[in-house]
Structure 1
Amino acid sequence: MTDPQPLLSLRGVSTHYGAIQVLRDIDLEIHAGEVVCLLGGNASGKTTMLKTILGYVVPTRGEVLLDGRRITGLPTQRLVGLGVSMVPENRRLFKRMTVRENLEMGCYLRNDSEEVAKDFERVFALFPRVRQRFGQRAGTLSGGEQQMVAMARALMARPKVLLMDEPSMGLAPVLVEQNFEIIREINEQGTTVFVVEQNATMALSIADRGYVLQTGRIVLSGTAESLLSDQRMRTAYLGEL
């Protein structure tokens, strides 16, 4: 049973870039312990929603709340301290820095060194390859290895909610499956996950619930099971609703 108060929520959020409206009256809830996915095609507004949550973009209407607290427009550094961490699209590692240095950037706001050491061991258990590449420059890793490091870096902040932007992008199908299995395991270890993804089948295979975004509006929402079996989901996802 989920907590009645959402861990993360958007209420009536509309976002503009100048005169162009990108998000329209978004209501979305993520409860502690869930995996929730946001599905949609290119230019549907998915990335703008993440930017709005992270404070890169301030909504023109509505509010973003974390644990019932209004966080709309707070600087990203403050949000990381409050428990929001992100794995960005295309990984965006510091490529000239080592894997170790990238992971240390993930925990730079923390001063609990004993717990940080435990989290290094946690990410090594999730990603054995990260331990093997610990002293190597991040830019020399394969795409799959870079994705592991990006996820490990985000987890080093010990987030309450982990945001993931297109985790399947640029990966071979076998790596996509492995990636989503790791996301499921991260959730089972206690981290709430919000996945923004175009690969609807993979995202819904690990999610509890999902939302479908089309031209800035949520056009469908429900349990992962109900969305997978709903013909309207495919229609909306293909932009025909």
Structure 2
Amino acid sequence: EKLKMVIDSRLVTRAENVVPTERKPQGGKGAEDSSLPFVWDALRVLSTAHAALKPDQQVAFFGASVRSTALLLGGVSDGIDWDTTRQAAVDFFLTNHIEGPPLVAAALSRALCYVNRIRKTHPDMPARILVVDASAVEAELSAQSTALVSCAFAAKSCAVPVDCLALGVASSVLLRQVTLLSGGKHQPLPAARRPHRLAEVLVPALLFHFLPGVEVRKDLNIAKDLHNLAAVCSCHGETQEIASVC
């Protein structure tokens, strides 16, 4: 199975339960005072556990910043140099960070293209995507609404469920809809007040909710997510009862 993860660049400069205006990155110290170290270590544990399920499991990490997206690592899980890749990821996030919503839709598109390329040689390989979101308000990704919904339908058509772990102050309405449309799972995990608390709960949450594949989740009788397909206006990102404009 191919497990792809899209990492929100705001994890580098956002500490827990802090809105963007209350904390600014200071030089190269942003990664030390953020959620990224805990998230990266937890994703490494998830990837290691995923590799233990079957031989030749594959993993790919994509970074999404305001300026660009990047493939941070990709290949067989057992052959990943995690220390080198972690430093490369931190460098990418700090170099490309400016305030604003990251290009999550573009990163999702790259992840889906990556799946299609792999399936040319391994047509039966199952794949799924996990988005780690750090939104501070529900409407932060409203400008990408059309692109995100298009990615959701594209993922559904090629049987690639999109999951989302929301670590920000508020979870994105659009990412909740993407997971629902693609057959994935959305799990909000409100950040704790102290940084070490996140490290305690993050690994168990990832393993419980996102280690099982879609077919296994059916056997586990995991509760389905609440349906929320309300229209969202592209100008303010607010939910609307009629149409998609306010």
> Between Structure 1 and Structure 2, which shows a larger proportion of strand residues?
1
> Between Structure 1 and Structure 2, which shows a larger proportion of helix residues?
2
